[in-house]
Amino acid sequence: MSLTADRHGSDTEKRPSRWRGLILFWVLIVAFLGAGGIALQMLGPPVVTGAAPTAIVSPPGTPKLEAHGVKPEGQEAAGPKPESAQPASHQMPATPERALPAAPGHGDGAASIPPTPTRELRPGSSATGPISGPDPGLLEPGKGPDIGMLPRIGADGRSPSQVYARGFAAEAGLPRIGLVLAGIGLNAAESMRAIQGLPANVTLAVSPYAAPNPALLNLARQEGHELLLSVPLEPMGYPLNDPGEHALLTGATVEENQRNLEWAMGRFPGYAGVTAALGGQLNGERFPTLAEQMQPMLSNLAARGLFYVDPRVLPPSEAGQRQPALPYVWNRSIDLIVDDPADPASLEAKLAALEGIARDKGSALGLVGLASPLVLDRLAAWTNGLAGRGFALAPASALILPPGKVPE
């Protein structure tokens, strides 16, 4: 009886010990799991090699990575598109050292103007004989109902200043003399007389205000005359001296002047260059004094493959030489105005002075404002005797100079 009681008491004493062990076991398990969870929380989720990246959704108000120059993986960095991705319109074939800086003050219009070609597109031609008519490959439509077809550089690199230039190959060492006759088209009879009565190397400047006369201009090309477009620029004494409603003015915006420039350029096709000589004494002297207006115009002309004849008689530099050429575009300023005044004695003196300039400096360029009968008769006789006096009569394109230094 006592033995049984002892065993029963011993079993009773062992039960609480087993429960305590079991409880301690589960406490350790729970503690271990808790410690593991904390460790995982601190270490973050495991990285699986080769798995697709998971999109991260930022909470509202979180700054975007791109704003700090960091691009999301797999996306291109923000910035300008490569040149090949730009629109094809207005693109030029890439040529090393071909582009000049954009003209300052050009405004929004500058973006539509192609890079400015320089020395690769030297004006002039070696092909003699008649000049070819307007080439569709050198034209593009203007923007606006009152703007015609505009000149452009062809996809093959040809420029109007080359295709429509008078061929010239003078004997080496001969001083060159060029003449630009303005006002062509304003008087059909006098224009016809100039075309047929003057040597082919005399360059003709056509007024944009003349009534369209393709037959007259085609005749001029057949006779071998190089054609220029006269663009109306603000002259000295404006508005008393009025260059017309489409003139480029110092008080207008760059965009307004560009539109008027394009109006003039669209009046007729097939000219090699541009001048501001309208005819008479309207030579646009004031407009070029404002660089922020003049430079966008020059940049536009250069981008279209044209050269520029500056009708201003510029004073010589401090060294006694010609003033540096204008920037951006192949150009040349005239040396004197032949018919100002237009009496016989003055004409003789001016023509003799032109020969003297050519003899001293190697070349000279004169401007004739109006094709009057008196002036045409004297010019015909004078030009026919130039070769015998040791001079070469040259078209304007043969006297054009490279662009000067771009102002800082």
Residue with tokens 């405004």: 107
Q: Report the Cα 250 to chain-centroid distance in Å.
A: 20
Tokens read off for 70? 């960091």
The pLDDT score that the predictor gives to residue 6 is 47
Beta strands in 207-354 (DSSP E): 227-230, 273-275, 307-310, 331-333, 336-337
Domain span holding position 283 = 175-399
- The reply to whether 369 falls in a domain is yes
Measured at the alpha carbon of residue 353, what is the angle toward residues 349 and 354, in degrees to the nearest 5? 120
What pLDDT band is residue 77 in, cutting at 50, 70 and 90?
very low
Give yes or no for a contact between 252 and 294, defined as CB atoms under 8 angstroms apart. Answer: no
- The reply to whether 47 falls in a domain is no
- Is a pLDDT exceeding 50 seen at residue 123? yes
d(CA 78, CA 66): 8
The 10s digit of each residue's pLDDT in 131-182 is 999 999 999 999 989 999 999 999 999 999 999 999 998 788 899 999 999 9
The pLDDT score that the predictor gives to residue 98 is 35
Tokens read off for 245? 């409603």
Residue 274: CB partners within 8 Å, gap ≥ 6? 228, 229, 230, 231, 265, 301, 306, 307, 308, 309
The 10s digit of each residue's pLDDT in 220-262 is 999 999 999 999 999 999 999 999 999 999 999 999 999 999 9
- The reply to whether 60 falls in a domain is no
Residue from 116, 156, 157 nearest 329 by CA:
116
CATH number of 240's domain: 3.20.20.370
User: How many other C-beta atoms lie within 10 A of the C-beta of residue 314?
Assistant: 13
- The reply to whether 209 falls in a domain is yes
- 90 or 377, greater pLDDT: 377
User: How many other C-beta atoms lie within 10 A of the C-beta of residue 337?
Assistant: 20
d(CA 181, CA 228): 10
Mean pLDDT across 193-217: 97
Which residues lie across from 125 on neighbouring strands? 167
- Is a pLDDT exceeding 70 seen at residue 18? no
Q: What percent of the chain has pLDDT over 90?
A: 62
- The reply to whether 226 falls in a domain is yes
d(CA 248, CA 238): 12
d(CA 377, CA 384): 11
Which residues lie across from 197 on neighbouring strands? none
Tokens read off for 248? 């480029």
Residue 39: CB partners within 8 Å, gap ≥ 6? none
Strand (E) or helix (H) holding 364: strand 363-368
- Is a pLDDT exceeding 50 seen at residue 2? no
Mean pLDDT across 255-284: 97
Q: Report the Cα 277 to chain-centroid distance in Å.
A: 23
- The reply to whether 137 falls in a domain is no
Q: Per the structure, how many domains does the chain have?
A: 1
- What are the CA-CA distances from residue 72 to residues 56, 75, 393 (Å)? 10, 6, 68
What pLDDT band is residue 298 in, cutting at 50, 70 and 90?
very high
The 10s digit of each residue's pLDDT in 322-349 is 677 899 999 999 999 999 999 999 999 9
The 10s digit of each residue's pLDDT in 41-63 is 444 444 333 333 333 333 333 33
Mean pLDDT computed over every residue of the chain: 79
Give yes or no for a contact between 307 and 178, defined as CB atoms under 8 angstroms apart. Answer: no
d(CA 48, CA 131): 75
Residue 9: CB partners within 8 Å, gap ≥ 6? none
The pLDDT score that the predictor gives to residue 48 is 36
* pTM for the whole structure: 0.72
The pLDDT score that the predictor gives to residue 353 is 97
- Is a pLDDT exceeding 90 seen at residue 14? no
- The reply to whether 342 falls in a domain is yes
- The reply to whether 386 falls in a domain is yes
